[in-house]
Amino acid sequence: MYPELFRIGNFPINTYGVFLALAFLCAILITVKLAERDGLPRDKIYDLSLWMLLASLIGSKLLMLFTEPDFRANPWQLISLDFLRSGGVFYGGLLGAVLAGYFLMRRYRLPWWTTADACAPGIAIGNFFGRQGCFAAGCCWGKPTNLPWGVKFSELGHEVTGVPIDVHLHPTQLYESFAMLIVFSFLLWLHKRKRFSGQVILFYALLYSIIRFLIEFVRDDPRGDMLGLTTLTGLSTSQIISLIVGVAALIVLVVRWRKAAATGKDPLIEPSAV
């Protein structure tokens, strides 16, 4: 829609970048606030959030190597401006953040599940703002539709991302954005009422994977093929990852819920990660 907000001289200020910065800022502030409520040290949570942010950026780029044939065929593009300006793959960013978070929680002696619960609503609001940025930039577009809420993108958006013009498309970016706003509200509500540690982050993983799996059916932008699995299964890369994440989250959620019920108490107090 509006991929470029304004220019400072010849330097463009991209709408996507502004929304991405807003997503990270809100995610960090909300995470710190919830972590303080859970009795976690503020300074360590700030450090953890910043390192997880960096890891998510790196992870989102690295997964592109497995999904985007152009980057696999031309590795030199890894140091190109186009690669640095590209958005990346969300699940790669999530994996990078989780791995960094795990090792840093061990280093800082933070309880894994409690800390992850504090992060979950922040990640969800980050999804909300991030997809707003996608909509403004014109990336991650949907299939053509005759529905009354179908949207047309600008010629500038086409030049930047390749989004089709002169045709109404599913606003898949907004589908995910507003769905994650609802998830964010639910997770905030759940955080105050959770029965056991890990419940909030596991619900996030489960709900996001379901939402993403369904939205992928009406997405139409090129998303690559992860190691040939997309061609083999007929599912997109993100749908394959969503199935794995969703099933894993559901299994762990059920196991921890039953454990909490069997012990007769909420396992909210967990040992620090060491």
Q: Residue 274: its pLDDT value, please?
A: 40
The answer to whether 118 and 38 have CB atoms below 8 angstroms apart is: yes
Q: Residue 104: its pLDDT value, please?
A: 94
Distance CA 129, CA 272 (A): 32
Residue 253 in tokens: 């959620």
Cα dist from 182 to 104, 138, 141, 152, 211, whole Å: 30, 23, 21, 25, 11
> Residues 54, 67, 150, CA angle at the centre, nearest 5°?
90
Handedness of CA 192, 195, 198, 204 (dihedral sign): negative
| Total-model pTM | 0.87
Q: Residue 227: its pLDDT value, please?
A: 58
Residue 20 in tokens: 């991405």
Query: Among 253, 273, 249, which Cα is nearest to 261's?
Result: 253
Distance CA 88, CA 65 (A): 10
Q: How many CA atoms lie within 13 A of 101 on its CB side?
A: 24
Query: Among 136, 161, 123, which Cα is nearest to 17's?
Result: 136
Domain ranges of the chain: 4-263
Distance CA 19, CA 126 (A): 9
- Series of mean pLDDT values for 10-residue runs along the chain (274 residues): 71 82 94 95 94 90 70 60 62 91 93 96 96 89 94 78 86 97 98 94 98 94 67 84 96 93 65 50
Query: Among 126, 130, 93, which Cα is nearest to 16's?
Result: 130
**Neighbouring-strand partners of residue 4:** 14
CB atoms within 10 A of CB 38: 15
